[in-house]
């Protein structure tokens, strides 16, 4: 589990670094970004995992989201992995932007030819945390997760499928009900096959309906002028309806004028880090 440092830049008093390693889950070289706040030089810090959206690499979040100042202030390590395995030479891997490379959807694929490499769920919930905890000054008991769009879906399912593992969860414009939207249907039928019942294990709305575990407190921001909201790719109303019924605490904020971009994420990043800090530093 050797890490190779790809880059390191001083940032907000700490360091923004990128590492590369050989992933056993994904059977390829993977890059991830890690922000180490000043506090990490002297003590253990909690970790927030950030899952990015379709087409992203580990770069988008660290260059556009403006998370480092708030992370430094609250003493939080932020880990941002890539969004899929890369360079596996699978046929059709690079054919479309919403399936294959850059579109791992944070599931463990069961269908050929994807099932060998496309195991992003196990990667972000098992392999990566082990790697991080072994190499950085973390407090493994204080972990949280957040993400954007496909990564928002990833963050929600990771929290809902692993009660107690993540102390806090939040999302920007998440895909809330993938089994009901075109993106989700395309990805799940490709990675998981035609049996729709297997899809439900990776659907936040379905998982919320049967969630039992420690109290969650979910913060979701959504741009009102998000083209994918009006295209029915995100379906937050379905998740809110289930959470209202199941009394899972959610604050869902519809932000007028904002779209699906990182400009929107940047605008509310501080609120989300503060939300995570409340639980990570409690």
Partner 1 sequence: MLKNSVFLVCIKKRKATIVTHCCFQSEIVMTRNHLQGKVAEMENFAGHLEEIFLTVEENFGRREQHLEQHYNDVLQTLSQRYDERAAGLEEEKKSKLEALYRQLLACGQALDASKELIETAQEIYRSRDKRLFLKVCPDLKLSTHLELNTPLADLSDVKTMMDSINVVPAPSAPVINPQMPNSATQTSLRVCWSLFSDDTVEYYELYYRPVLEDMPADSTLPSPPVIKQRECTSCPEAALIRWESGNTNPVDSYNVELSEMGTDGTESGVTESIVAVPTCQCLIQLQTGQRYLISVRAVNIGGPSDRSDVIIVSTTGTFFHLLEETAHPCLSISEDGFTMFYGDEELSISAMAFDDNTFTRCVAVLGDLIPVRGRHYWEVEVDDGTEFRIGVAYMDTERSSYLGANNTSWCMRHILTPTRHKYEFLHNGWSPDLRITVNPVRIGVALDYERGTLSFFNVDLEQHLHTFHCHFQSYVHPCFGLDNPGALTVHNSIEAPEYTFT
Q: Is 244 near partner 1 (CB under 8 A)?
A: yes
Element (H, E) at 63: helix 58-64
Segment interacting with partner 1 (CB under 8 A) among 29-37, 46-54, 227-235, 269-277: 269-277
Asked whether 274 and 40 are in contact (CB, 8 A), the reply is no
Candidates 24-32, 56-64, 167-175, 239-247: pick the segment binding partner 1 (CB under 8 A).
239-247
Q: How far apart are CA 43 and CA 240, in angstroms?
A: 38
Residue 20, beta-bridge partner list:
4, 31
What radius of gyration, in Å, describes the C-alpha atoms of the chain? 17
The dihedral built from the CA positions of residue 207, 62, 217 and 129, taken in this order, carries a sign that is positive
Q: Does 130 bind partner 1 (CB under 8 A)?
A: no
From residue 201 to residue 230, what is the string marking binding to partner 1 with x (rule CB under 8 A)?
--------------x-x-x----x------
242 by DSSP, 3-state: which?
helix
Q: Are 132 and 17 in contact (CB under 8 A)?
A: no
CB of 243 to partner 1, least distance (A): 4
Decide: is 250 part of the binding site for partner 1 (CB under 8 A). yes
From residue 47 to residue 66, the character string flagging contacts with partner 1 as x (rule: CB under 8 A) and all else as - is --------------------
For the CB of residue 272, give the shortest distance to partner 1 in the complex, in Å: 11
Which residue lies nearer to partner 1 by CB, 78 or 168?
168
Q: 168-172 and 138-148: which strand pairing? A: parallel
Binding site for partner 1 (CB under 8 A): 215, 217, 219, 224, 240, 243-244, 247-256, 274-275, 277-278, 281-282
């Amino acid at each position: 589990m050797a890490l190779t440092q790809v880059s390191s830049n001083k940032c907000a008093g700490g360091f923004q670094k990128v590492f590369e390693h050989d992933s056993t889950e994904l059977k390829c070289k993977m890059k991830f970004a890690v922000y180490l706040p000043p506090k990490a030089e002297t003590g253990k810090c909690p970790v927030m995992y950030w899952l990015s959206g379709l087409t992203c690499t580990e770069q988008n979040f660290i260059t556009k989201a403006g998370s480092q100042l708030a992370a430094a202030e609250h003493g939080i390590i932020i880990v941002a992995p890539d969004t899929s395995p890369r360079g596996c030479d699978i046929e059709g891997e690079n054919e479309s932007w919403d399936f294959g490379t850059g579109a791992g959807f944070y599931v463990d694929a069961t269908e050929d030819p994807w099932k060998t490499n496309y195991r992003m769920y196990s990667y972000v919930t098992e392999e990566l945390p082990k790697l991080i905890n072994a190499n950085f000054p973390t407090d493994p008991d204080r972990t949280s997760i957040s993400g954007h769009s496909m990564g928002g879906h990833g963050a929600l399912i990771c929290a809902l499928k692993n009660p107690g593992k993540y102390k806090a969860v939040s999302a920007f414009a998440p895909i809330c009900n993938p089994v009901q939207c075109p993106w989700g249907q395309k990805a799940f039928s490709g990675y998981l096959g035609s049996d729709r019942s297997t899809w439900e294990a990776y659907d936040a709305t379905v998982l919320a309906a049967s969630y039992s575990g420690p109290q969650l407190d979910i913060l979701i921001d959504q741009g009102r002028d998000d083209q994918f909201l009006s295209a029915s790719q995100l379906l937050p109303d379905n998740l809110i309806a289930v959470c209202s019924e199941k009394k899972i605490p959610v604050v869902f904020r519809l932000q007028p004028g904002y779209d699906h971009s990182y400009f929107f994420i940047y605008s509310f990043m501080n609120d989300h880090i503060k939300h995570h800090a409340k639980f990570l530093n409690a």
